[in-house]
Amino acid sequence: MKRLIILISLWIFASQGYSQGILGGKVTGSFQMDMQVSREDTIIGSQDVAERFLSNSYTTILYTNGAFTAGVRFEAYLNPILGFDAQYKGAGFANRFASYKKDFLEITVGNYYEQFGNGLIFRSYQEQNLGLDNAMDGIRIVARPLSGLTVKGIIGKQRYYWEDIWQTDNGLIRGGDLDLALNDLFPFMANMTTQISIGGSFISVYEKANPKYITVNDTLYQMNLPENIGAGAFRFDLSHNAFNLSAEYARKGQDPNAINKDNFRNGEALFLTAGYSQKGLGISVAAKRIDNMSFKSRRNETGNMLAVNYLPAITRQHAYSLMAMYPYATQVDGEMGLQADVMYKIKKNTWLGGKYGTDIKFNYSRIHSIDKQTLNNNTSYMENITMQYESDFFKVGDDLYFEEINFEVGKKFSPDLKTTFMYSYQTFNPIASGHEGYPFVYANIFVADGTYRIAQTSSLRAELQLLLTEANYGDWATGNWLQATLEYNLGGKWFAAVSDQWNYGNETGDKTHYYNASIGCTFGTTRVQISYGKQRKGIMCIGGVCREVPASNGLFATITSSF
Amino acid sequence: MKRTFFSLFAVVITSLAFIVSCDNIDEKEILTPIIGETTQSVPITTTDTVQKVLLEDITGWSCTNCPAAAREAANLLLQYPGTLVVMAVHATAFAKPSQTNHNVDFRTEYGEQWVEDFGISGCPSGLVNRVKEGGVFPVQYADWATKVAERMQREHVLDINLGAKYDGDNKIVVSIENKVLKEIDFPMLINVVVLESKIIGVQRDGTEKDTAYEFNHVLRTNGLIDFPLTYDKTDAGTTINKNYFIEVPFKEDEISPLWNLDNCKVVVFVTNAETKEVIQVNEVELQ
């Protein structure tokens, strides 16, 4: 019945025209379809695809009329392309909502996305490339009763593939967020150059607890699990002229779950950022400490779905594929680290800057485990089992998880030639990607990227990447790599590219090539791209959240369109 | 002014919600030792060879239609001798004792919990192997015959062989041999309970009050509920032996048991820990 109403509504809109002026409102939409054909390839480990053809499609339709907005998103995974969870198989309206603004209130019913602060205790979001969708289904109210005061309240459950979430015991999420922009709230601060805002939030997840048992020293025990898991956070942002400083501290109550192995210890997270920026110079530093902050709306869930919170990554997110070969995944059980970014533009018409100036970027990040000590002698054996460890907040753990130092130089040599050069040295602890027991990976990575404008409407881009490492640990760390790419663009509408990733230094002596050729074009708001080639097995991470990408060999096509 | 009031209201609600929305279990109460397992054993006297069905009759002494449901259960027992196990769970407000029934209380803590867990709102009602169908667990007694017949046809994947004996002191010792016939890919829980029959008491029956009503298969207290049997996949051919004891409550004189042990039997049923469905059930008289 619900689907029928949605379909009839869409048909009414569609039959009356498109884009604008429908029932006094406006309809907009977008469409994306990814298609894949892959065949078995024993050299790269690509599996035969029984269905031969796989596709993921997403269609969004929004109707806006003044303060009212409603929308649906239709998704079809027929069947899911490689690397996406098989539980996505199927099609249907994954998302539907209606929202309106009246007076100082904004009310949304149905599906919605929301984030409190940095997301340390609550973030509902979608990341299509990771196959991650934590959309809430319920009610959200945002109130702005006074200038500078924002209050948010949410209640609902999270999406879990196509599961009927209201028929499951998945946790019910309730929460609120308060944000005070002091300079807007208090007239005497209105003209101050120092801008301050403070905020606080809380989240509570209710999940019924089924009996759980463990055996200790041949005695059976029932574990009494908390059913209401609470978390709170406090934050502030301060900016003064070119300086800014922000901090958020979060604390989570007892939350024994499958990820933290039934640890009853309270969770903690601290996220600090500071920055300075002026023309030609930008400096930012970030620091983070996480202790037992896995937070799911189902305590037995271990995958990416049903994450209630988000723990931001403080390592550089790379776009070049060899730079991103050993990506760092946030260790939700405990990590502490820091990152520094410096961007400097050497002025034009100087010896180093040349005629067009030179952009220099420096980035350093280092992530460690947190300090973990066994509980003191006064604690019982049972408490050691359930609370597991003590941790000194300011003490760094012994295990290095990840370290990277990288430099990037952007240089324009002429109006037609623009280049980027990068160097990165990465130290990667395999334990951070679940490969416990392997030695560290140390990698030197070089990138040279140049774009040459051939004519007013066409350009040629060449890219060369080199990764050097002695790590050869089977199928996930496979020695040296070289990648070359050549891409031709015509008028911003057509492009063609060829590339090859060459794994020339792997342990088995296979000189494996991952070649790829692609062509694409854009017509107005529609873009079509088709590529043929091999994709290596690896891990894709976005913001510290990762998914495995299996090897494939075949055709990949994408259509995107909007109206 | 209204907006300021709203702001204060929002802050107060937010603060209150935060305070009340977090459970904190005292460190010393996180793990509770489970009393019930024993190293003592008794001979196995009942072996299992076919698929059986557990019918839970949710009932209460003040429920006027419950005797009709009990009669339906008795008819089904005649129809399925040896393969149907009936358990009368006295729960809900209809089972609350009063002076009218001489304050006889057949309720159990877990019976009340099941009523809540399985979404049962009144009596008579029932559960047939605790199968969730159409999004609900309860089965009205008019449908019991159909559902029992249907669930009797389910695949037989587990044998529960049993022996039970009163130790003459204060314990009923139960030995169980769980034989897995086909691979089971979910965790299982085991329940061991005592049922007592031939208890004479007060029961409303339609418009009448029957003061000599015979209560049968009454679920008694001190049962062992949802004990873990397996935690993951179990291969075919696996045998899991368990020995439990159930404490027998005594009357105030501390000499005679509260239950008439001659009329008691032990029922053991194994459930799917994920779906709550009963996989197999068996019963045994006390030795």
Residue A113, pLDDT above cutoff 90: yes
Nearest CA in chain A to B36: A220
- Best probe of the B interface among A155, A166, A218, A224, by most B CBs < 10 A, is A224
- 10 Å CB burial of residue B181 (0-12, 13-18, 19+) is middle
Nearest to A383 among B25, B27, B135 (CB): B27
Average pLDDT over residues A67-89: 94
Residue type, B237: G
Residue B1, pLDDT above cutoff 80: no
Cβ atoms of residues A29 and A20 within 8 Å: no
Q: Three-state SS for A392?
A: coil
Contacts of B7 in chain A (CB under 8 A): 145-146, 149, 151
Number of H helices, E strands in chain B: 4, 14
Contact flag A167-B135 (C-beta cutoff 8 Å) = yes
pLDDT for position A261? 87
Contact flag A167-B11 (C-beta cutoff 8 Å) = no
- Best probe of the B interface among A104, A185, A220, A255, by most B CBs < 10 A, is A220
Does B24 contact A at CB distance below 8 Å? yes
pLDDT for position B18? 61
Residue A509, pLDDT above cutoff 80: no
Give pLDDT tens digits for A447-470.
999 999 998 889 999 999 999 998
pLDDT for position A220? 78
Nearest CA in chain A to B225: A211
* The token pair that represents B45 in the structure block: 């006297």
Name the band, by pLDDT with cuts 50, 70 and 90, for residue A536: confident
Contacts of B227 in chain A (CB under 8 A): 213, 220
User: In A, residues 218-257, which contact B (CB 8 Å cutoff)?
Assistant: 219-230, 232, 253-254
Residue B52, pLDDT above cutoff 60: yes
Cβ atoms of residues A177 and A207 within 8 Å: no
Nearest to B29 among A204, A211, A224 (CB): A224
Cβ atoms of residues B164 and B173 within 8 Å: yes
Average pLDDT over residues B107-121: 93
Name the band, by pLDDT with cuts 50, 70 and 90, for residue A64: very high
Nearest to A226 among B25, B34, B135 (CB): B25
ω into B81 cis (within 30 of 0) = no
C-alpha angle with apex B171: B166 to B172, nearest 5 degrees?
45
Contact flag B18-A383 (C-beta cutoff 8 Å) = no
**Is the four-CA dihedral B35, B41, B46, B51 of positive or negative sign?**
positive
User: In B, residues 102-161, which contact A (CB 8 Å cutoff)?
Assistant: 135
Going from the C-alpha of A237 to that of each of A118, A234, A266, the distances in angstroms are 11, 11, 25
Contact flag B31-A143 (C-beta cutoff 8 Å) = no
Contacts of A226 in chain B (CB under 8 A): 22-25
Give pLDDT tens digits for A158-206.
999 999 998 888 899 999 999 999 999 999 999 999 999 999 999 999 9
Contact flag A264-B27 (C-beta cutoff 8 Å) = yes
Does B227 contact A at CB distance below 8 Å? yes
Contact flag A220-B228 (C-beta cutoff 8 Å) = yes
Residue A474, pLDDT above cutoff 80: no
Does B25 contact A at CB distance below 8 Å? yes
Contact flag A211-B189 (C-beta cutoff 8 Å) = yes
Min Cα–Cα distance to chain A from B238, Å: 20
Nearest CA in chain A to B15: A202
Does A176 contact B at CB distance below 8 Å? yes
pLDDT for position B7? 63
Secondary structure (DSSP) of A60-84: EEEEEETTEEEEEEEEEESSPPTTS
CA atoms within 13 A on the CB side of A417: 4
Of A546 and B240, the structure prediction assigns the larger pLDDT to B240
* The token pair that represents B245 in the structure block: 């004891």
Contact flag B31-A382 (C-beta cutoff 8 Å) = yes
Contacts of B27 in chain A (CB under 8 A): 264, 383, 386-387
User: In A, residues 198-217, which contact B (CB 8 Å cutoff)?
Assistant: 202, 204, 210-211, 213-214, 216
Give pLDDT tens digits for A293-339.
999 999 989 888 999 999 998 999 898 999 999 989 899 999 999 99
Cβ atoms of residues A203 and B18 within 8 Å: no
Mean of pLDDT over chain A: 89
Greatest C-alpha distance within chain B: 79
Residue A376, pLDDT above cutoff 90: no
Predicted complex: ipTM over 0.85: no
Min Cα–Cα distance to chain B from A54, Å: 29
Does B37 contact A at CB distance below 8 Å? yes
Cα A367 to Cα A400: distance, rounded to the nearest angstrom: 6
**Is the four-CA dihedral A256, A262, A268, A270 of positive or negative sign?**
negative
Does B9 contact A at CB distance below 8 Å? no
Residue A381, pLDDT above cutoff 60: no
Cα B219 to Cα B267: distance, rounded to the nearest angstrom: 10
Name the band, by pLDDT with cuts 50, 70 and 90, for residue A383: low
Nearest CA in chain B to A384: B27
| pTM greater than 0.80 (yes/no) | no
pLDDT for position A18? 46
Does A386 contact B at CB distance below 8 Å? yes
Contact flag B34-A145 (C-beta cutoff 8 Å) = no
Contacts of A221 in chain B (CB under 8 A): 31-34
C-alpha angle with apex A157: A223 to A258, nearest 5 degrees?
30
pLDDT for position A26? 93
Nearest to A220 among B6, B14, B37 (CB): B37
Weakest mean pLDDT among A1-15, A223-237, A280-294, A412-426 = A1-15
Does A167 contact B at CB distance below 8 Å? yes
Contacts of A172 in chain B (CB under 8 A): none
Nearest to B21 among A221, A230, A264 (CB): A230
Does B212 contact A at CB distance below 8 Å? no
Does A151 contact B at CB distance below 8 Å? yes
pLDDT for position B82? 92
- 10 Å CB burial of residue A415 (0-12, 13-18, 19+) is exposed
Contacts of B189 in chain A (CB under 8 A): 211
Contact flag A220-B34 (C-beta cutoff 8 Å) = yes
Min Cα–Cα distance to chain B from A181, Å: 14
Of B94, B90, B91, B100, nearest to B196 by C-alpha is B90
